[in-house]
Structure 1
Amino acid sequence: MKLRSLLFVPGDRPERFDKAAASGADAIILDLEDSVAPERKGYARDAIAAWLAGTRGCTAFVRVNPLEGGQTADDLAIILPAAPDGIMLPKAEGAASILALEELAGQGRLPPILPIATETPAALFELGSYRSVRDRLAGLTWGAEDLPASIGATSTREADGRYTAPIEMARSLTLFAAHAAGVAAIDTVFPRIDAMDDLAAYVGRARRDGFTGMMAIHPVQVAAINGGFTPTPAEVDHARAVVDAFAANPGAGVLKLDGKMIDRPHLVQAQRVLAAI
């Protein structure tokens, strides 16, 4: 499942579902949580289930409500019969939350799960546990809104736009947890839709740091995200040259390529580049 871009769509706005599916996003996230008012949850469930039962045209996740809110079972009861491609779980707190979700759904009924893994203080201490449920995961992602609210932080950003130290730590821990579990590392949303240069810089930083994809809040962001997480032709050519060099010298630990020394970490990186094509 390629997950460079994942586009949020409010679950109570079914007139937007087809447009989101046609946006070019690798997946859409039909939302039952924050973007849907409590009195419209039932309508949103039915709208999502009806759309999923039709011709989707793209990979579709559903973000259910948090486990502690008492609405997750109702979400699953309506959504799962329509066979979504994945479930996004907000306010997840490690493997225990994945197992709790599985119990609510019934064993073997859940599609791959994408936890939002940093929305509570306790969640940060459970990130390593996702390794034990890696076979149930589509990836790991994080959020920059609920966590600061839960600890009383007054801002997530420095004056120059960088994340504050606590928020940056949550981002980094999610990145490492995803790679430790061997699943996709999905960066959080960029909140502005009128700053495409800033978005491109944000995407570039995410890929540089090791994220493999990113969430989006508007279709206008999708092309920049897809482009930023797609290797350039030059990167692909170099990666193939590295792989070919080691294939031709299977016993070598270090080789010379284009005047530079390469070793096994370069091979691993080259394989990641080729896997992202």
Structure 2
Amino acid sequence: MRLRSLLFVPGDSERKFAKARDIGADVLILDLEDAVAPSMKDAARAQVSALLDDRSPRDWAFFVRVNPFDTGLTDDDLAAVVKPGLDGLLIPKANGAHDVVRIAETLDRLEAANGMEAGSVRIAVVATETPLAMFNLGSYTPAHPRLAALTWGAEDLAAAIGATGNKEEDGHWTDPYRLARSLCLYAAASAGVAPVDTLYANFRDPEGLEADCRRARRDGFTGRIAIHPDQVATINRCFSPSDEELAEARKIVAAFAAQPDAGTLGIDGKMYDIPHLKAAHRTLAAAGDTA
């Protein structure tokens, strides 16, 4: 399952879903939480359940963002959407790995009841939306078998701590949110799951999105959430290795394969060691290349 571009789609809009399904995102996240008004929750749940019944071939993964536990809506969401066709869940406002365990126990029961392969529904977590969550990021290691990704969020965290804003005048995150971003990245790396960067809110700023995506990939994120279809192509491009990067990675892997007992090698006048080899393998894996 590739988690490079993850596009949110309101769960109560069949029109937006119809547009999104052909946009090229790796994952569509049908949203039952923030994108749906309280009065529309039941309708959105029924709509997403019906969409899952369409088993036409697709080249993207079907995720659903359920409502958080404190709403009292989570169990009804799960009962409606855990059925054949569902690939994963996005869990908002999680306080730690114990919330993954709680969701997973329900998934075990619902998968069995619906004739699904055990463990087939994966879990991604928005891991920084509450103050308590910030202290529990280490709890995701070792990773639950269903855990596929960790991402972070700033808006709910800002509201929870009483912040009046989360960006500097130049558009960069303020210190509390830079910390959340960094700790999410470390937590995902420690757990061995995909680190997914948060959304870029200004969907009319493609240049800003591209620059921010390139910074995110530089830092170690492997994908990003999108809130508008126009963002998907940029995200896909920025989080995909270039031809030059792939060529260099293949050269590094081939050189170490030719000298398996070497810890350091000179290639084209540069020195490479085992961390470079690991990075080369990650680059190739990001492109689906197993050379």
**TM-score of the two chains, using structure 2 as the length reference:** 0.93
Contact kept, 8 Å, 1:113 with 1:137, in 2: the verdict is yes
Give 2:143's aligned residue: 133
Contact kept, 8 Å, 2:131 with 2:160, in 1: the verdict is yes
The reply on whether 1:150 has 2:166 as its aligned counterpart is no
Give 2:40's aligned residue: 40
- Tell me by how many angstroms 1:105 deviates: 3.6
Contact kept, 8 Å, 2:143 with 2:192, in 1: the verdict is no
Alignment of 1:51-90 (within 5 A): 51-54=51-54, 55=56, 57=58, 58-90=60-92
Tell me the distance in 2 between the aligned counterparts of 1:257 and 1:81.
51
Letter in 2 for 1:246: F
The reply on whether 1:102 has 2:104 as its aligned counterpart is yes
Going from structure 1 to structure 2, the CA distance change for 1:46 and 1:82 (only over 3 Å counts) comes to: farther
Tell me the distance in 1 between the aligned counterparts of 2:97 and 2:65.
18
Letter in 2 for 1:207: R
Alignment of 1:104-123 (within 5 A): 104-107=106-109, 109=111, 111-123=121-133
- Structure 2 unmatched runs, 5+: 112-118
What RMSD, in angstroms, separates the aligned Cα atoms of the two structures?
1.2
Contact kept, 8 Å, 2:52 with 2:83, in 1: the verdict is no
- Tell me by how many angstroms 1:118 deviates: 0.2
Aligned length: 277
Give 1:15's aligned residue: 15
Give 1:266's aligned residue: 276
Give 2:204's aligned residue: 194
Tell me the distance in 2 between the aligned counterparts of 1:102 and 1:267.
35
Tell me the distance in 2 between the aligned counterparts of 1:134 and 1:98.
8
- Structure 1 unmatched runs, 5+: none
Going from structure 1 to structure 2, the CA distance change for 1:258 and 1:124 (only over 3 Å counts) comes to: same
| Aligned-partner SS, 2:141 | helix
Give 2:217's aligned residue: 207
- Tell me by how many angstroms 1:56 deviates: 6.0
The reply on whether 1:249 has 2:231 as its aligned counterpart is no
Contact kept, 8 Å, 1:144 with 1:167, in 2: the verdict is yes
Percent of pairs identical after alignment? 52
Contact kept, 8 Å, 1:134 with 1:183, in 2: the verdict is no
Tell me the distance in 2 between the aligned counterparts of 1:102 and 1:86.
11
Contact kept, 8 Å, 1:21 with 1:56, in 2: the verdict is no
Higher mean Cα deviation, 262-271 or 9-18? 9-18
**Out of 143, 161, 173, which is 2:183 matched to?**
173
Letter in 2 for 1:193: F
* Partner deviation per Cα, 1:74-103 (whole Å, 9 max, x = no partner): 001111124411000000111100111123
Contact kept, 8 Å, 1:95 with 1:132, in 2: the verdict is no
**TM-score of the two chains, using structure 1 as the length reference:** 0.97
Tell me the distance in 2 between the aligned counterparts of 1:202 and 1:259.
32
Tell me the distance in 2 between the aligned counterparts of 1:134 and 1:176.
17
Letter in 2 for 1:14: E
Give 1:30's aligned residue: 30
| Aligned-partner SS, 1:186 | strand
- Tell me by how many angstroms 1:215 deviates: 0.3
- Tell me by how many angstroms 1:152 deviates: 0.7
* Partner deviation per Cα, 1:117-145 (whole Å, 9 max, x = no partner): 00000001111111233311121111110
**Out of 240, 248, 254, which is 2:250 matched to?**
240
* Partner deviation per Cα, 1:250-271 (whole Å, 9 max, x = no partner): 0111110110111000001000
Letter in 2 for 1:215: I
* Partner deviation per Cα, 1:132-190 (whole Å, 9 max, x = no partner): 33311121111110001100111111111110011000000000111111111100000
Tell me the distance in 2 between the aligned counterparts of 1:237 and 1:107.
46
* Partner deviation per Cα, 1:169-228 (whole Å, 9 max, x = no partner): 000000011111111110000001111110100110010000000000000000000000
Letter in 2 for 1:144: A
Contact kept, 8 Å, 2:61 with 2:87, in 1: the verdict is yes
Letter in 2 for 1:81: K
Letter in 2 for 1:184: A
